[in-house]
Amino acid sequence: MKKKKNYILGLFFISSMSYVHGYTNSLITQNESSHPSIPNFPYGFCNECDSSSTQSQEAFLNELDEIDQTDCIANTTPKKSIEDLNSDFFYFDKTIQHLQCKVSLPTVNCSCRTIAKTDQSAFLNFLTTHSITKFLGNNENQEVIESFFNRILQRVITNNPMAWLAVIDNDTQQVIGFAGLGIPFNGEPGAGELIVFFDTIAQKKGVGTALLSLCLSKIAPEIQQLGVDGFPEFCCFQGEALNTIYATVHTDNEAALKILLRSSMKPAIRAEYEIIHFNDSIDLAKLPNSNKYIFEYTIPIVSSEK
């Protein structure tokens, strides 16, 4: 009998582990070849992260301290107040005085909402469960993960649209996963890297596919449009509006790789990446000195609101 794999899907809304400004920009460390190394913490499109990384969870979080000191700043003069926002997916909750996101996934009977303090137990459970974290190369340190979770909540407090989402089963109202978007591994302005991780009970039910599809077709374009239209909180991708989404997947994570190959994302074929001949019809791009494939999606350019 084939053993089930837990996997992390690097979806959008959700690749930032830094929770206030630079999400995965905090993931960048330089190795001898000057390429970003893969951090020893879950991110990208799977949880089978490089166990060869020497960066500890604690060191990773220390990097985030530097990122968290910088607020989301737009390059242009703000035209609109976040308190007036009420779009398809994002709205300002005047009761709690914070930006919120709400997403429906009717085809898989699930929904997503902005992460809350009440999600801490589920979050800690996922990231202290060996079957989920065994490929991360770290011990499941509860204190480190609690600190990490608190950084996520800081994104909510600062009205950052890259705050994580909790994925909910509509029947049981149980949290079955989390998703987030942030500055990618290469720190590219205007780009975000998507990550998602699910409990085993949510796998093979199409939840990851449905969430990725909606992110690419609806949510990411809305994030871009809100940034272009003058909401400074949505220009938090190194001071720019979102225009590109990246996702990485471990070379052994067949389930997540299949989801990406069926999606609108394409292998990031570039000179700086290693090109792998996957089969007769597909070439994949691999990050140097890692076991990560990298995919990208360019959001169609939108014009500023009149």
Q: Closest Cα partner for 216 from 251, 247, 177?
A: 247
Name the most confidently modeled range: 20-24, 55-59, 164-168, 253-257.
164-168
User: What pLDDT was estimated at residue 303?
Assistant: 66
Helical residues (DSSP H) of the chain, grouped into ranges:
57-68, 120-127, 130-133, 142-157, 207-214, 220-228, 254-262
- 83 has pLDDT over 70: yes
| pLDDT tens figures, 164-219 | 999 999 999 999 999 988 778 788 899 999 878 888 788 788 999 999 999 999 99
| Element (DSSP H or E) covering residue 196 | strand 191-198
Q: Alpha-carbon distance 84 to 76, whole Å?
A: 18
| pLDDT tens figures, 102-145 | 999 999 999 999 999 999 999 988 888 766 665 444 556 788 88
Q: Alpha-carbon distance 245 to 196, whole Å?
A: 14
Q: Which of 20-34, 212-226, 269-283 has the lowest mean pLDDT?
A: 20-34
Residues found in the chain: 306
pTM for this entry: 0.74
Domain boundaries, the chain: 8-298
Q: Give Cα 281 distance to the centre of its chain.
A: 28
Average pLDDT on 69-91 reads 71
User: What pLDDT was estimated at residue 298?
Assistant: 96
- Whether 6 and 145 have beta carbons less than 8 Å apart is answered as no
Average pLDDT on 141-158 reads 87
User: What pLDDT was estimated at residue 191?
Assistant: 93
Q: What CATH number belongs to 8-298?
A: 3.40.630.30
- 269 has pLDDT over 90: yes
- 149 has pLDDT over 60: yes
- 19 has pLDDT over 50: no
Give residue 17's pLDDT band: very low, low, confident or very high (50, 70, 90).
very low
Average pLDDT value over all residues in the chain: 75
Helix (H, G, I), strand (E, B) or coil at 172: coil
What is the percent of the chain with per-residue pLDDT over 70, rounded to a whole number? Answer: 70
- 150 has pLDDT over 70: yes
Who wins on pLDDT, 253 or 224? 224
| pLDDT tens figures, 53-62 | 344 445 544 4
User: What pLDDT was estimated at residue 134?
Assistant: 53
